[in-house]
Amino acid sequence: MVSQKHLFELPEDIHYLNGAYMSPLMKAVQEAGIAGTKRKLSPWELTADDFFVPAETVKQKFGRLINAPAQQVAIIPSASYGLKSAISNIPANSGDHAIVVSNEFPSDYYTIQQWCKENSKELKIITAPDVLTGRGAAWNDRVLQTINTQTAAVVLSSVHWADGTKFNLQQIGEKCKAVNALFIVDGTQSVGALPIDIIAFKIDALVCAAYKWLMGPYSIGLAYYSENFNNGIPIEDSWMNKSNAHDFARLSSYVEDYKPGANRYNVGEFSNNILMPMLDKALDTVTQWGADAIQDYCVKLIGPLLHYLQENKYWIEAPAYRTNHLFGFLLPGTVDKAILLQELQRNKVFVSLRGDSIRVSPHVYNNESDIEALIQVLKNQHKL
Ligand SMILES: Cc1ncc(COP(=O)(O)O)c(C=O)c1O
């Protein structure tokens, strides 16, 4: 794959290595949104199908990306919403604790913490090992060793949002299945850019905000819920999720049942005429690129940066436990963090500080000059 920068509107002097914060919008996705806003200029043209069919198409596209049937996919407004639907339906009698890793993204942590509080369960927080060599492997091991027959659920981001540690979803999913624990994965920092397979990884729920690696707009996302959740209680009771929703003339012939699969978990007004066509367009492009090709592109791109970091005593995780689209590095004692951040800003190099890590998250809109600009700022620090 070659750089896809032409699909975006990124000024030449901006070095945006921060897709984990928010990916830039593609021009075509923006156009889909503009066309979407125009639809409400003439509401008489909106048909009953417009409330349902575009969402079905988006679900199918997302389903293909994660190897799930469209029927088990729901439209959500945020990761927190999607997590709440899964976590509030964990059976209360299924063990005495739940598991998260330390410094997990707050939407994940708060939701499972609340469930534990409401259900008098222990929340086991698996801390990152205090070592630099073999840290990712040891952290994964700690998670695996903590899962047992008393585990109700493991709630985990596939890639740690702050430092980029990659968790072995396959091993963790298998262990969860072996002990009958639910495996609830937050894919916000990976799905779209990293291959994922809910069947192979035995995932029970996979929740993704769309505004990062799915390249979509803000305030919409997608979630997969396994059949274990098909009789659960949704957050809302939108008319749109009920079995008679298509029959506009008879909506007040109230019914008990929902549309099949995960449809009960769709957010109300999910047909969103603006965000839905944008997400649809974004998914087309993400699918066309392919997660493997995105990783290949990024690994080539970051090669010189990794080389520089390793040569100059910065810490970076071993390749098996990090991804190429999102990783953190730690500074050597000789580099002043505050000055470095100032210099990055002055040179328009956009990365994030998360905890102690400098988080770098490139994508196919980046090119060598972006990585070179980052390396140059780091080099200048050593000269100070
Ligand atoms: C792992 C992870 N999950 C979810 C989100 C977004 O959560 P929400 O949609 O609840 O705002 C982020 C944002 O940075 C994230 O890093």
* Angle (deg, nearest 10), helices 291-311 and 275-289: 70
State which ligand 1 atom lies nearest to the alpha carbon of 21.
14
**Separation of CA 359 and ligand 1 centre (Å):** 15
**243 pLDDT more than 90:** yes
Average pLDDT for residues 112-141, to the nearest whole number?
97
Helix (H) or strand (E) holding 118: helix 106-118
Indicate whether residue 105 lines ligand 1 (CB < 6 A): yes
Closest CA to 268 of 229, 224, 237, 232: 237
Rounded alpha-carbon distances, angstroms, from residue 276 to 37, 127, 269, 283:
11, 38, 11, 11
Please choose from 85, 186, 214 the residue to mutate so as to test ligand 1's pocket, defined by most ligand atoms within 8 A of CB: 186
Closest CA to 155 of 111, 193, 220: 111
pLDDT tens digit string along 91-119?
A: 999 999 999 999 999 999 999 999 999 99
Tell me what pLDDT residue 323 has.
97
Please choose from 110, 188, 214 the residue to mutate so as to test ligand 1's pocket, defined by most ligand atoms within 8 A of CB: 188
Average pLDDT for residues 289-300, to the nearest whole number?
98
Asked if 226 and 203 touch (Cβ cutoff 8 Å), the reply is yes
pLDDT tens digit string along 142-185?
A: 999 999 999 999 999 999 999 999 999 999 999 999 999 999 99
Compute the distance between CA of residue 70 and CA of residue 72 in angstroms, rounded to an integer. 5
> By percentage, how much of the chain surpasses pLDDT 70?
99
Asked if 339 and 381 touch (Cβ cutoff 8 Å), the reply is yes
Indicate whether residue 317 lines ligand 1 (CB < 6 A): no
In the numeric block, the tokens 């659960």 are attached to 232
Average pLDDT for residues 344-367, to the nearest whole number?
95
Tell me what pLDDT residue 354 has.
86
Average pLDDT for residues 216-244, to the nearest whole number?
98
Tell me what pLDDT residue 384 has.
58
Average pLDDT for residues 288-314, to the nearest whole number?
97
**Separation of CA 178 and ligand 1 centre (Å):** 29
pLDDT tens digit string along 326-337?
A: 999 999 988 899
- Coil/strand/helix, residue 56: helix
**Separation of CA 186 and ligand 1 centre (Å):** 8
Indicate whether residue 190 lines ligand 1 (CB < 6 A): no
Compute the distance between CA of residue 70 and CA of residue 74 in angstroms, rounded to an integer. 8
Residue 270: both structure tokens together: 């999910």
Q: Which pLDDT band, with edges at 50, 70 and 90, does 382 fall under? A: confident
